[in-house]
Every structure is written in structure tokens, then in C-alpha cells.
Homo-oligomer: A and B are copies of this chain.
Amino acid sequence: MSVVREISPNVRNMKPLDYEILARRQNLIEKELRQGVRKPFKEVLDVSMSDLQMSGLKPLSFVRQVLAACLYPELLNSNKLPVDVRQRAQRLLGECAGASVGSYTATKGIPEIVQRISEYITRRDGGVPCSPENIFISSGSQWSLLNILKVLLFESSPKRGILVPVPSHVTTTLSIPSLGGVVIPYYLSEEQGWQLQVEELQRALDSAKAWCKPVTLYIINPGNPPGQIQSRKSMQEVIQFVSEKRLFLLADEVYQNLIYGENSEFVSYKRVLGEMGHPLSDTVELASFHSASKGFTAECGLRGGYVELVNVDPAVMKHIYALFSKDSCGPVLGQMALDLALNPPQPGDPSYPLYHTETEHIRKSLLHNIKRVSEILNSLPGFSCQPVQGGSFAYARLFLPPSAIQKAEELGLKPDTYYCVRLLEEAGVLTLPGSEFGQKEGTHHMRFCITTPQERMEEVLRRITNFHTQFMRNVSETEADRV
């Protein structure tokens, strides 16, 4: 018997995801393709994640030029790079210890970058003030969120509860039990375009009070998996609600710069809170998260995110500082990517024209994609898809026939996982099932990313259409046979 068989129950209780089932099959299929095995497709199209560059969208030249010059300062001597690129790189290098991206930084990040993030926030929020003291940069926003959860959740009796939307981005939910907390699900209303309803928050809270102590509310806006955007009015209601119920508000706002709907506008919780004035604006405790991964910069691989804390007691801030400092610091190039994402070239700068062309190209592709996704999925029997207003994903409802559900059960798979496995194997499209994100009992969904080049989106939709038509036809034949 080995020592580590007796491992932390917190770690032991972490469940593997259905994603793993799909990823394993994907690996197998790709191996077979490399070995020359004939399939109805030449490559797997992976639209399971929000990862613009993996999907084939190009990184922004401005960001890459500045970062390359920071890494290899010889490039500063070449006039191949635009002058504003060289100036930005020079300035960033001057902000690094030893003028090198190879040095550790302060725990909270390079102070000048933190300062510029606070200026971005103030600008974004129409002047609601932001103090750099309240910002922590880390290796991606996921990590910041984990750290804040570590502060709010711990083993206690009754257990501490966190209100989490259903459906919800999965990794967040994963960590909660391992920290000793419990998930209190609240359901987004699919029929109302996945909007959050305060009555539902109230219901979830009431039902939870018997078995846990609710301490915090987690919101994703713009949403993931569904790409809804919350209205200002709804946010005001939520702020009233958390204030009355004394909940800490966690606002995951990483998709704030991916907004598509004509009448949709992103407003941050920080801003709405600030505009609501005293006493709310001085008392409601808020953590807002943002990232270099999500947005047109989309540098997921460089790992840069931040959290801004609002109205948190200074004594607690000290402990949060201590917690972040255990992790040394976020990667310097991720910190810089965040800075460049939030402070892009402005009209008049030498880099602006190219920057503008590149971002407009991405914007147009994404607008095209969500239009096509809506058209096509809503025309297929057995599918329906609420409008995508922001974010990276379409989240479509699947109406699976009883025989497909039965077949899935026979195979020990959840029905939508079964659908996704078959879509992967037969059409070479990797998506994720709704069961991964939570869904209303008896409903089924499929998530796929729409932040991908137009041609790729078209090919994905073509494959889905063909597969789905065939799938439904076979299924109805089976069902007819049975009658």
C-alpha cells in the first residue's frame, strides 16, 4: 500500500469530465488519419474550446511585434517594425526588472501595467474610479478566480455555498467541492434568451438555506456556454439582491470585448455599481475578472488575466495579497499581452491601419458566423439556438428522439455526449455536450465555438447539417421499425 493511495479527499473527489472521453476519441481518430485510415473527412475540426488561434484566426500583428521586440531587443534596431511598436516595446522593457522579460515581477504584476489596466477600467466605466491597488494580474483569469474562491470557500459547517448559473463554464464549478464549498445551481431561462432572472436567484437561495450558508454569487457576462448579454436593468436588480442577501459578487467578464448584437452593449458590474451610488457603491463586495485570452487579442497561450476587487476590507486585501504571492507572478509576456489588448493602437498611430484591418476582419467573420449559425441550426428539425449576443459560443438545444436516448443509455453515455461522440466519429467535428455544463433535467444541448474563420465555420455547419440529417433519419427509421 502506498502513501499516496491515501490522497486528499478534495483531490480524489474531482470528477473526470466527459470532455476527456471526447478528447481521447479525437486523439485516436487523428492518429488513424495520420496512418492513412479512410474516413469521410480529412481532419477533425475542433470547435470545443474558445481559442481563436487554435481555430485558425490570426494573432494581431501589433501585439506580436511588440512582444517579439521585448523578447529579442535586437529587433528594436530594425526599422522593419513600426515606430509605435518599438516605442511600446522600449517602454515595456523599461518597466521590467533588469529591463528583461526574463525577470520575475511583483506579485500583483508589473506596477505600470497594473496602472494602465486601472486606467482602462476607468475609461471603460465612464469615469467610475478604479484604484491600481485593487488589481491583481495572474497566469490567466481562471487562476485569479480560483484564488478568490479560496478566500471565500472553506470547510465549515454548514458548508459555504456559491450560486452558480446553469449552464456554466465548467472549470469554475469543478474547483468548488475541492475547496469545501457547495454549488447552488440557478437556472438561466433559455426561452428568454438565457437571461438571468432575480426570482430564480431567490428560489435557488431559499431552497439552499436549509443545507448550506450561501456566501457568493457567480455570474458570467457575456455568457458561456450561451452567449447572452445581461441588461443594465437586470444587473441593477442583481446588485440589490446581493446587497440584501449579503453575498459577495463574482463577475466573470472575460468576454467583455466580444459583443455582436446590434442592440447589445456590455456594461460592467463595476460601472453599474458605481452609478447606483451610495450606499450600494460603497458596500457591495465585487470581484471582476478579465483576460488576455478572450477578445480579438486572444492570446490564450500566453496566460494573462486579472481580477479587480471592489469594496473589499483592507485587512482582507492583505490576505489576498499573501495568497497571490505564493504563486510568485504571472508570466511577463501574458501581462504584456493583457496591457496591449486593453490599450491597442489609436487612430494616427503608425500601427493603427493594420490593426484596424485585422480586427475588422475578425469582427466581420464573427458577425457572419453567428448569423449563419442561427439561420442553419434553427432550420434543422431537432435543433434550436437562441441568438448569440456576445462571447465565443453558440449553445444549441438538441431535441433527441427517445430511441437515441435509449441507445445512449445502453452505451452508458449521457444522451448529448452520445450525440457529440457520433458527430465526432462520423463527421469529424468536436463539440461539447450540454451535460458538461449543467442543463434542465430532460433537456439536451451542444456547445461549439463561433470564434473561428468563416470558411471553417461554414465547413463545421455543413458537416453538422449532413450528420444531423442522417442521424435523425436513421433514428426515425429505427423508431418506425419498432412500431
A327-359 CB mask vs B (1 if < 8 Å, else 0) is 111111110000000000000000000000000
Integer count of this chain's copies in the complex: 2
Residue of A68, A152, A301 contacting most chain B CB atoms (<10 Å): A301
| Number of residues on chain A facing chain B (CB within 8 A) | 88
The listed residue (B103, B139, B215, B333) touching A3 by CB distance below 8 A is B215
Interface: A470 (CB within 8 A): no
The listed residue (B4, B51, B67, B101) touching A285 by CB distance below 8 A is B4
The answer for the CA separation of A154 and B248 in the assembled complex, in Å, is 26
Question: A315 to chain B: closest CB distance in Å?
Answer: 8
Q: Which residues of B contact A153 (CB under 8 A)?
A: 8
The answer for the CA separation of A37 and B97 in the assembled complex, in Å, is 22
Stretch at the interface among A126-134, A143-151, A191-199, A260-268: A143-151
Interface: A482 (CB within 8 A): no
Q: Which residues of B contact A247 (CB under 8 A)?
A: 3
Q: Which residues of B contact A15 (CB under 8 A)?
A: 322
- A301 near B7 with CB under 8 A, answer no
Stretch at the interface among A52-60, A389-397, A437-445: A52-60
Q: Which residues of B contact A174 (CB under 8 A)?
A: 326
Q: Which residues of B contact A56 (CB under 8 A)?
A: 98
Interface: A412 (CB within 8 A): no
- B322 near A102 with CB under 8 A, answer no
Q: Which residues of B contact A142 (CB under 8 A)?
A: 326-328
The answer for the CA separation of A9 and B155 in the assembled complex, in Å, is 9
Q: Can you list 9 contacts pairing A with B, beta carbon distance less than 8 Å?
A: A2-B316, A4-B285, A7-B154, A101-B302, A102-B300, A104-B300, A105-B301, A302-B333, A331-B334
